[in-house]
């Protein structure tokens, strides 16, 4: 259990680094490049991310699960059978992308500079290390790559004319980051070209397609939606829409990193027919995911008015409302993610896993076309919040066939009440300082005290678990 907790921490750190680097650079590049140039970057990046999901072919879920089940003697054989699917998909997608970019896409030059990210996704085998439970070494090595990229951006991106360099640095980073994984594969696991060729097989293709299809669907409303907003409303409105989402999604990445690490563990409980332990760990994870995502959502909403001008600059003030309302997706995505990754995937319920994504994709595309045309960035924000809410509801309804509502929601209503009460109080907190940062710190401290005291007063499991830890002298008891 200690290794699982350690992996949760390090995987969360890795996901934070992968997604957070663009966010860390935003206060600088927002002022250097401006809102419109950032909008062009968002448009180009959204296409790369969407195609990257297609390239990886569901390996984060399928690959980590298969590798976790493999005997060490055959682990490289299974890896080879899995990666050949990813490699083949990547080569086809990359060639098609270059042709389409040259012939049809706007901002052709910037689109072509996005090509390295597709190569990076071909090389992405982080799923292998997730499956075998070795996360720490990978994170430490990739940290150096991410920090180096950050330094290069600060050193060389100096004006709006440097947008090409910003795009190239971001798209190239993933090649170096994922290249590190291959060093370990060759040196520690003895991977050879002979092994890859000998095991060239598409035996896992069917399962891969079953998993990647819903992921493509979810990308239609989490990545391709930015492409739609950019096409309909232009790069400036896209910048407001996209930058507000990124802050919320970095929080989502941290919270849902628990699901990524726990899924192989939950699958192990399923193989052992240990339903009692499966449900116990699942309920703990569900409760604490809700507790955390409510807390982070509260902080984002309470600080939106001060956070936007401090972090992005005054030219981004029109997106304050976007930042406030899009924060709600932290709750819906995080909660639904536990149901999807820790339960339906672990139990092999692929249909229940996929249906919400198909529903969300169809609903999002239609609503985006209607609302973005009318309300621009605000319409896009409304669409993503409504879509994620409905996807989460559908997940709950599908899981209900296996777990009762009383089991799922036990003790959680109290947490929601504490969240709503804290949010009402947050709306009444006055502005203490003229400096945005000081207001952020003070407001966050006040809200944190109110929220966690509320959890104790309402006698949620936060209180009972604190008492258990105290009784067991600091040890965490599941």
Q: Which two tokens stand for residue 183?
A: 């060093």
Q: What is the pLDDT of residues 163-179, one digit of tens each?
A: 999 999 989 888 887 88
Quote the CA–CA distance of 184 and 441 in Å, as a whole number. Answer: 41
Looking at residues 440-457, what average pLDDT do you find? 94
Mean pLDDT estimate for the chain: 84
Lowest mean pLDDT, pick from 2-16, 30-44, 97-111, 251-265: 2-16
Looking at residues 57-62, what average pLDDT do you find? 84
The pLDDT value given to residue 393: 95
The pLDDT value given to residue 126: 82
Question: Does 451 have pLDDT greater than 50?
Answer: yes
Lowest mean pLDDT, pick from 265-279, 303-317, 449-463: 265-279
Question: Does 266 have pLDDT greater than 70?
Answer: no
DSSP SS3 for 453: helix
Q: What is the pLDDT of residues 18-52, one digit of tens each?
A: 666 766 778 899 889 988 898 999 899 889 988 99
Question: Does 477 have pLDDT greater than 50?
Answer: no
Instruction: Give the closest residue to 367 by CA, choosing from 348, 352, 347, 387.
Output: 387
b/e map 336-354, b = 16+ CB within 10 Å: bbbbbbbbbbbbebbebbb
DSSP SS3 for 25: helix
DSSP type of residue 106: S
Question: Does 8 have pLDDT greater than 90?
Answer: no
Question: Does 394 have pLDDT greater than 90?
Answer: yes
CB 337 within 8 A of CB 259: yes
């Amino acid at each position: 259990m200690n290794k699982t907790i350690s992996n949760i921490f390090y995987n969360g750190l890795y996901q934070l680094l992968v997604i957070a680097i663009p966010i860390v650079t935003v206060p600088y590049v927002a002022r250097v490049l401006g809102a419109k140039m950032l909008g062009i970057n968002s448009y180009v990046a959204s296409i790369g991310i969407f195609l990257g999901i297609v390239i990886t072919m569901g390996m984060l879920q399928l690959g980590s699960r298969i590798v976790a089940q493999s005997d060490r003697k055959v682990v490289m054989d299974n890896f080879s059978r899995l990666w050949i699917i990813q490699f083949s998909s990547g080569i086809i997608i990359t060639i098609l992308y270059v042709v389409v970019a040259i012939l049809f896409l706007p901002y052709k030059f910037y689109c072509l500079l996005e090509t390295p990210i597709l190569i990076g996704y071909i090389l992405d085998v982080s799923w292998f290390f997730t499956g075998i439970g070795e996360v720490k070494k990978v994170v430490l090595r990739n940290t150096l790559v991410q920090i180096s990229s950050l330094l290069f951006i600060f050193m060389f991106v100096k004006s709006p004319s440097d947008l090409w360099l910003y795009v190239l640095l971001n798209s190239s980073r993933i090649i170096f980051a994922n290249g590190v994984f291959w060093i370990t594969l060759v040196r520690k696991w003895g991977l050879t070209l002979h092994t890859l060729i000998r095991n060239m097989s598409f035996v896992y293709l069917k399962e891969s397609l079953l998993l990647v299809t819903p992921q493509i669907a979810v990308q239609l409303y989490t990545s391709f939606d930015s492409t739609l907003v950019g096409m309909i409303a232009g790069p400036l409105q896209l910048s407001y829409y996209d930058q507000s989402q990124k802050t919320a999604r970095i929080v989502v990445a941290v919270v849902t990193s628990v699901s990524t690490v726990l899924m192989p563990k939950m699958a192990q409980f399923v193989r052992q027919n240990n339903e009692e332990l499966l449900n116990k760990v699942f309920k703990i994870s569900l409760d604490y995911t809700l507790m955390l995502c409510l807390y982070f959502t509260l902080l984002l909403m309470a600080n939106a008015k001060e956070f936007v001008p401090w972090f992005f600059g005054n030219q981004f003030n029109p997106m304050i409302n976007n930042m406030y309302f899009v924060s709600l997706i932290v709750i819906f995505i995080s909660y639904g993610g536990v149901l999807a990754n820790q339960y339906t995937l672990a139990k092999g319920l692929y249909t229940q896993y996929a249906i919400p994504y198909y529903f969300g994709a169809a609903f999002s595309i239609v609503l985006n076309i209607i609302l973005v045309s009318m309300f621009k960035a605000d319409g896009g924000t409304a669409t993503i919040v409504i879509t994620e809410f409905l996807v989460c509801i559908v997940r709950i309804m599908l899981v209900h066939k296996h777990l009762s509502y009383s089991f799922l929601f036990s003790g959680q209503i109290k947490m929601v009440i504490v969240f709503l009460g804290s949010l009402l109080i947050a709306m009444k907190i006055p502005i203490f300082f003229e400096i945005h940062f000081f207001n952020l710190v003070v407001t966050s401290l006040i809200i944190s005290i109110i929220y966690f005291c509320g959890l104790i007063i309402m006698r949620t499991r936060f209180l009972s678990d604190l008492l258990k830890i105290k009784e067991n002298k600091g040890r965490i008891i599941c």
